[in-house]
Amino acid sequence: MGSALPELMLQRVVKRNTLFLAASQAFVGVGNQMVPTLGAIIVARLLGSTHLAGMATSALGVSRFLVSYPTGRIADLYGRRVAIVVGLGRGLAGAVGTGLSVLSGAFTIFLLSILVFGCGVGAGYQLRVAATDMYPPNQRAQALGFVLTGSLVGALGAPLLITSAQNWSGSLGLDPLALAWFIVPAAILPGIGFPVIGMFGFSLPLGWVADRASRSAVMLLGFLFLAGGAVLVRPHFATGSLSRALSW
């Protein structure tokens, strides 16, 4: 029983972290679609010329270079989860800034916002390989493939996001190009919020149950959920994976 509990805890932590990484990749998929498709249109509108239409895509590439070392440093000092949340926060700020630049017609704000947004996308790119540290060598490619599947969600969701902005822009009285960027946080916030909800979202109802039933019953319920999650995962973990999983 003593050896089973650490293994169950390990499986739960690895599953949670893998889902967190996959959620962050959904944001990466949105960024990969939004910048090339809308960036050129926005540049042409703000400058009145198509000569620099590729500036947004170029800025996205430059931002990955700029953010690579700071992201690695944050991950080393504070953990990978903090690095991912910081990256998603950059993406949130950059998306809002891009929408504001369209409304204000300011190319400088647009360029800076795309750089900030790209820093968030670049952090997601860089940290997706963190999934491989939590799995043994014979499962690392499969783990990385699962995480990268999150990008597919973003790639499929970006056209829906743009279409929704086009349909809602009339009733909201906003430019559809700006509204599309204002909707992007809807894809970013779940990536930040799901881990927090998972850890703390049931605190109030569990406290209510503990007061009216017993703490032992709540602990038993939590153990059953923990065991159920472990059964759903069923991986074979390598020695040392526990420390890497908990280092998040």
Residues 6 or more apart whose CB falls under 8 angstroms from that of 143 comprise 18, 131, 132, 134, 135
In this predicted structure, the answer to whether residue 200 has a pLDDT above a threshold of 50 is: no
Confidence of residue 245 (pLDDT cuts 50, 70, 90): very low
What pLDDT, on the 0 to 100 scale, is given for residue 202?
A: 56
**Please, are residues 94 and 114 in contact by the beta-carbon 8 Å criterion?**
yes
Average pLDDT of span 54-58: 88
The pLDDT mean for the chain works out to 76
Q: Locate 221 and state its tokens.
A: 């319920």
**Please, are residues 11 and 230 in contact by the beta-carbon 8 Å criterion?**
yes
Confidence of residue 242 (pLDDT cuts 50, 70, 90): very low
What pLDDT, on the 0 to 100 scale, is given for residue 206?
A: 60
Higher-pLDDT residue of 63 and 19 is: 63
What pLDDT, on the 0 to 100 scale, is given for residue 211?
A: 65
CA distance 241 to 234: 15
3-class DSSP state of 158: helix
Higher-pLDDT residue of 149 and 63 is: 63
What pLDDT, on the 0 to 100 scale, is given for residue 81?
A: 76
Confidence of residue 7 (pLDDT cuts 50, 70, 90): low
Per residue in 161-191, pLDDT (tens digit) is 888 888 888 888 889 888 888 888 776 666 5
**Please, are residues 109 and 211 in contact by the beta-carbon 8 Å criterion?**
no
CA distance 152 to 155: 5
Its CATH class, for the domain covering 16-192+238-246, is mainly alpha
Q: What is the DSSP letter of 237?
A: P
CA distance 146 to 148: 6
Average pLDDT of span 47-74: 87
